[in-house]
Amino acid sequence: MALSTRNRLPAQITEVVKGEAAAKVSLQAGDWQMVALITRESADELGLEAGQQVTALVKATDVMIMTQGDLA
């Protein structure tokens, strides 16, 4: 499979919490902890479970962070 995504992080799934429509997948990528929110259907199709080694593909146009000190 070929993908254009350049931000590829090897990771291990630490937890999968499935709701009715969505799944929260917690990942450990080196020293970084990440959370991916995906459809439950996708989580089921991929057979995601804790302990599984995966690759996190990150493609985002914006990442914004604001602290209380930034409020005007």
Structural domains of the chain ordered from first start: 10-58 (2.40.50.100)
Question: pLDDT value at position 26?
Answer: 97
4-45 pLDDT tens trace: 888 899 999 999 999 999 999 999 999 999 999 999 999 999
Check: CB of residue 32 under 8 Å from CB of residue 10: no
Cβ partners under 8 Å of residue 13, min gap 6: 25, 26, 27, 48, 49, 50, 51, 52, 54
Higher per-residue pLDDT: 61 or 33: 33
Question: pLDDT value at position 72?
Answer: 57
pTM: 0.80
Residue 22: both structure tokens together: 């969505």
- Residue 12, Cβ density class (10 Å: 0-12 exposed, 13-18 middle, ≥19 buried): middle
Element (H, E) at 43: helix 40-46
